[in-house]
Amino acid sequence: MDIRKVIFLLWVLPGLWANVLIAQDVTITVNANQDKKAVSPYIYGKNSNEVKPAQLYRDAGVRFSRMNQGNNATKYNWRKKISSHPDWYNNVYPNNWDSKSMDASNNHPDMQLMWAFQLLGRVASSTEHNFNDWEYNNSQWWQGVNQNLAGGGVPNEADPGGNALVEGDVNLYTEEWPADSTVAILDHWFGADGLGLNSDQFLYWSMDNEPDIWNGTHDDVMPDGLLPASEFMDRFIEVAKKARALFPEIKICGPVTTSEWQWFKWGDESIRIDGKYYCWFEYFIKRCADEEKSSGVRVLDVFDIHHYPYAPTHADALQNHRVFYDENYNYPGANGIKTINGGWDNSQTKEYIFKRINNWLDKHYGENHGITLGLSEWSPGPDEPNLASVIYASHLGTFANNGVEYFTPWNWFTGMWETVHLFSRYARDFSVSSNSSSENTVSAYTTVTENSDSTTIIIVNRDQSVARNVTINLNGIAVVDGSYKTLQLSSLPASETFKTHTDNALKDGSVAVASNSFTISVPALSTTAVLLKSEPNGIEEIKSSLDEIRLFPNPAKNEMFINLRSGVDGSVQITMFDQQGRKVKVFNTYFDGHTAIRVDVSLLQKGYYFLSVKTNQFSTTKSFVVTK
C-alpha cells in the first residue's frame, strides 16, 4: 500500500486504527505451580438484612452475609431490640437481631453471618420521641430527612440540607452504651443462659461502621466534630479486648472505613507520633500492633475497608479492580492518597491500597501476622447488567488471587447473582498464576484443586465492543487432549435472569484442548469459565464441591463429619491441608454410602483448612474452619 494512504488512514480514520488495536489476539499463560494461594469461600458474600429466600442464596453459593445494615448498626440496642435511623430524622424503630440471627442460622447453617459492635457510646433507648414524619408529609423522602428531628426537633424547610431549626434532644431517644454493654450480646447469644446460637457461625464482628464520618452520620451524638483518632482507638481497643475475653475465637474486623479519602485522613487531624506523620490507616495498624505487643491480646483479625469507586467513564469503571494491588494503576478517583505523607502531593495517583495495608501490617506486626483483608461495602458503579457482571467478576478474581478473606458488595445489581454463582459454584479452592498479554483488557483467573486434577479458568473480557480470540497455554498440569465444557455469561438482559443453580443465563459451550493448549473466542463484556480435568476418570462433568461432599459442623471444634453424595461408596482417601497448602493429615477410610465419616480435628490449630476427598469416582476439595 502507498505510504501516503497509510498516513491518510491513520490521520483521517483514527477510530478504525483503534479497532484494529483493540481486536488483537490475547495469549494467557497458566502455571499451576506458581503463586498457589487458598481461596477464601467468604469472598462470595453480600450485604443483607435478611438472607431470604434461603434457596436463592444456596443456589447462588453465597457463603457470607454482612447483616448489620451499616449506619443502622451504630445505635443498635440489643437489649431493647431497637435502633436509631440516622438517615431518617434519627427516628427509632424496632430491629431484632436475635430473630434475624435465629432465622438465618436455621436457613443457612453453612453461612457465616457478620454483625457489629457499637463504639459510638450511645444507642437507641425509646421510640416515644420520634419525629412524626407521617403527619409531616406522609413519610415522603425530602432533603431534610437527615435533620436531627427525633427528640422534639423542628424542621428547617428553608434550608433542608442544613441543620434543623431546633435540634432534637439526643437524651430523649438514646442512652449511654459502654463497652461492657456492647460485648454482652455475646453472652446473650452464646452463653450458658443465652439463646443457644452456634458461635462458630458468627465468628466475624464488625467494629461499628464508618466511624471516620460519625460527625456527619451521627452528628446528634457528636455535634462538636469528630472525636480524636486516639480516642476512637481507645474505644476500639477496649471493645476488642472485652470481646476477645468473652469469645476467644472471634474475628475482630476494622476499622470499617468509609472510602478513599478516609483511608488516609481521620477528619482534619494531622496524626504525629514522636514527630513522625502517620496517615490514618498506618496509625490504626500501629496502635493495634502496639496494643498486642504490650498486652498480648489480639485486637485485629481482618483489616476491613469500604470502597465506593469513582469512575468518570465505563472504561474507567472496568479497571477499578486495579485499585487494590496494581502499583502501576493511576486511579481517576485518587484524592486522599495525595495526603499520605502529610502535605498535598498531586503526583500521588497510585492507590494499591491492599498492598499498602499488607506492607504496613508487616512493618508494625512483623511477617506471618495472620491478619487478612476484607471489603465489606462496595459498588460496581455502573448498574448496566453486563458492566456490573464483568466489573464484579474482575474483583472476585483479583481477591481470589490475593487471599482476601471476605467481600460483601453493598450495591447489588442485575448480573451479580449470575456472576457470584459462576465463581462460587465452579471455581476451585486454590488460585494459581495466570499471565495475560493484554491484562487490562482480558484476564484469566485460574483455580485448581489441591492436587491440580481439576482446573477452572475464568476468562474476563472487559472490551466493551469487540470479541477476543484467547489462546491459553497450560503449565504445571497435564490436561488430556479432548473436548471440555465451558460456561459463559454474556449479553445479559436488563431483567434478572438468575433463578436457580439450573435455571440461569449460563451458556454451555466447549473447547478443544490439544498439547496443553486451547484457543477460545470470548465475546465483548463477558465472563467465561473453562472446566478442565487432568486425568481421565469417567466423569462427564466437573461437579462443585458443594454437590460432592458436605462437611458438618463447619466451623468445627473437635470433630467434623463428611457426607458424600448419594451413590458413592468404597475406599476414600482424605487429606487435610492448611491455608498455605501444607498437608497436616492424611488417612484412608471406607464410605458405606450412608454413614457420615468422622474426622478428628482436635489437634489442629484454629484457622482455615481445606479437606480433599478422593474416591474411585471423583476427587474434590472443600474448605473448613477450626475453632478452639
State residue 602's pLDDT score: 83
Of 533, 559, 575, the position where a domain reaches its end is 533
Q: How many CB atoms lie within 10 A of CB 40?
A: 24
Evaluate whether 551 touches 562 at the Cβ level (below 8 Å): yes
Same domain as 552, residue 522: no
CB contact set of 73 (below 8 Å; sequence gap of 6+):
83, 115, 116, 118, 206, 208, 209
As a whole number, mean pLDDT of residues 467-493 equals 96
Alpha carbons 288 and 303: distance in angstroms, whole number: 11
Is there a single domain that holds both residue 570 and residue 599?
yes
CA distance 84 to 150: 9
- What's the pLDDT tens digit per position in 175-218? 999 999 999 999 999 999 999 999 999 999 999 999 999 999 99
Give the pLDDT of residue 360: 98
State the residue range of the domain holding 589: 548-626
In a domain, 392, yes or no: no
Tell me phi and psi for residue 440, to 5 degrees.
-75, -15
**Residue ranges in 23-96 assigned as alpha helix (H):** 54-60
Picking from 347-356, 498-507, 562-571, which range would have the lowest pLDDT averaged per residue?
562-571
H or E element: which one contains 377? strand 372-378
Taking 70 as the threshold, does the pLDDT of residue 45 lie above it? yes
Sign, CA dihedral 572-577-581-582, equals negative
The answer to whether the beta carbons of residues 224 and 176 sit under 8 Å apart is no
* Residue 554, in any domain of the structure: yes
Give the tens place of pLDDT for each residue, 318-340. 999 999 999 999 999 999 999 99
Mean pLDDT of 623-628: 79
pLDDT above 80 (res 9): no
The backbone torsions φ and ψ at residue 393, rounded to the nearest 5 degrees and listed phi first, read -60, -40
Residues whose CB falls within 8 Å of the CB of residue 575, separated by 6 or more in sequence, listed in order = 450, 583, 585, 586, 611, 612, 614
Of the candidates 252, 363, 365, 373, the one whose C-alpha atom is nearest the C-alpha of residue 307 is 373
Region for residue 341 given its phi and psi (left: phi exceeds 0; alpha: psi -120 to 50; beta: otherwise): alpha
In a shared domain, residues 510 and 598:
no
Residue 427, pLDDT score: 97
How many angstroms separate the first and last alpha carbons of the chain? 74
Residue 29 pLDDT exceeds 80: yes
Q: What is the pLDDT confidence band of residue 540, given thresholds at 50, 70 and 90?
A: very low
User: Pick from 490, 505, 533: which residue ends a domain?
Assistant: 533
Is 508 part of a structural domain of the chain? yes
Judge if 559 and 510 occupy the same domain. no
Report the 3 state secondary structure along 345-392.
CCCCCCCCHHHHHHHHHHHHHCCCCCCEEEEEEECCCCCCHHHHHHHH
On whether the CB atoms of residues 232 and 119 are closer than 8 A, the answer is yes
- As a whole number of angstroms, the distance between CA 112 and CA 33 comes to 31
User: Tell me, what's the pLDDT at 549?
Assistant: 78
Residue whose C-alpha is closest to residue 314's, from 382, 396, 414: 382
pLDDT at 5 over 80: no
Q: Is 582 inside any structural domain?
A: yes
What pLDDT score does 597 carry? 85
Q: CA-based Rg of the chain, rounded to a whole angstrom?
A: 26
Q: How far from chain centre, in Å, is Cα 226?
A: 28
Same-domain status, 506 and 566: no
Do 461 and 512 lie in a common domain? yes
Q: What one-letter code names the amino acid at 447?
A: T
527 and 442 in a common domain: yes
Percent of the chain beyond pLDDT 90? 78
Distance CA 416, CA 566 (A): 31
**Cα dihedral sign for 331, 332, 333, 338?**
positive
CATH of the domain at 586: 2.60.40.2550
What DSSP string runs through 591-604?
E-SSSPEEEE-TTS
Between these two residues, 540 and 405, which has the higher pLDDT value? 405
Q: Are residues 472 and 448 in the same domain?
A: yes
Closest residue by Cα to residue 400 from 439, 331, 456, 359: 456
In a domain, 513, yes or no: yes
Tell me, yes or no, whether 187 lies in a domain: no
Instruction: Identify the burial level of 244 via C-beta atoms within 10 angstroms of its C-beta, where 0-12 means exposed, 13-18 middle and 19 or more buried.
Output: middle
Q: In CATH, what number is assigned to the domain containing residue 510? A: 2.60.40.1180
Count of domains observed in the chain: 2
Whether 355 is in a domain gets the answer no
Q: Are both 526 and 582 inside the same structural domain?
A: no
Q: Which residues pair with 571 in a beta bridge?
A: 590
Is the residue at 490 inside a domain? yes
Nearest CA to 447 out of 420, 424, 417 is that of: 424
Comparing 25 with 543, the larger pLDDT belongs to 25
Domain boundary pick from 533, 568, 600: 533
- Is 597 in the same domain as 622? yes
| Mean pLDDT in residue range 119-142 | 98
